[in-house]
Every structure is written in structure tokens, then in C-alpha cells.
Amino acid sequence: ASFGHFLPPTVIEAFPRGAINMHPSLLPRYRGANPIQHALLNGDAVTGVSVIEVHPTRFDAGALLLREEVGVDPDDTYA
């Protein structure tokens, strides 16, 4: 689900090590909304998950902490 709002800096700063976000794509590809659908529509053979630091003023733009690739089966759908 897309959150669509920035966390207030006071919320991010409340965590001594910062806040993290899990994004369902191999960032920076398909940054933003609907990354799974875009991967399927474009016929990608591989997609994945990225764990990033929450950036206070930009969506899906924090430091990359972890990426895990996942294969896409040709029969996969977003149903």
C-alpha cells in the first residue's frame, strides 16, 4: 500500500538509528507507486525488495540498506 505522506522529522528523529522503509522493488527502478504492477507490465524477469532509510523530504530516496532479488514467473499476475 502506498502511504503518500511524509513522516514529521520529530517522528524520524525519535528513533536513534533512524527509520526504515521496505519498498517492493529493486530501487531505484520503479521508485514510487505501483512497482509490482510496473515490473509485471514491463515483463521483468527479476524484481525484488529494497530496505532503505526514510528520507525526511523525498519518497523512496533514503540510503539503501538491503536488496533482495526475486524471480518473476511468466505466469505471475497481480491478482
Of 5, 38, 60, 76, the active-site residue reads: 60
Residue in this structure with the C-alpha cell 519498498, named with its chain if needed: 23
Q: Is 43 left (phi over 0), alpha (psi -120 to 50) or beta?
A: left
Whether 25 sits among the annotated catalytic residues: the reply is no
Of 2, 5, 21, 38, the active-site residue reads: 21
Whether 42 sits among the annotated catalytic residues: the reply is no
Of 34, 38, 42, 50, the active-site residue reads: 50
Whether 50 sits among the annotated catalytic residues: the reply is yes
Whether 5 sits among the annotated catalytic residues: the reply is no
Q: List the catalytic residues.
A: 21, 23, 50, 60
